[in-house]
Amino acid sequence: MKVRVHVSLKNGVLDPQGRAIHHALEGLGFAGVKDVRAGRLFELDVADDTSDEALDDMCRKLLANMVIENYRIEKVAA
């Protein structure tokens, strides 16, 4: 089973990298970019019988830092 885990910063957490990317986009002449938030995408290939609880646990224990990040699990059709 293929699973995508999207990790993003929580609202209210300042994102210095996103801000720098935003500035770089403006520097390249792209107008109208209002905000940029940088995140992470993990693509996991897990056993088909992996439970939702186990996936949740993986995110909470390692893939995301729950102090500053949220995660979203997306199951991808094979």
Instruction: Please give the residue ranges that form the binding site for other proteins (CB under 8 A).
Output: 12-14, 16-17, 20, 61-63, 65, 67-68
CB 68 within 8 A of CB 6: no
Please say whether the beta carbons of 76 and 45 come within 8 A.
Answer: no
- 56: Cβ–Cβ under 8 A, 6 or more apart, which residues? 73
The least CB distance from residue 13 to other proteins, in Å, is 6
Minimum distance of other proteins from residue 7's CB (angstroms): 10
> Based on CB atoms, which residue is closest to other proteins, 28 or 62?
62
Q: Which is nearer to other proteins, 16 or 29 (CB)?
A: 16
Q: How far is the CB of 51 from other proteins (least distance, A)?
A: 21
Question: Which residue do the tokens 């186990």 mark?
Answer: 54
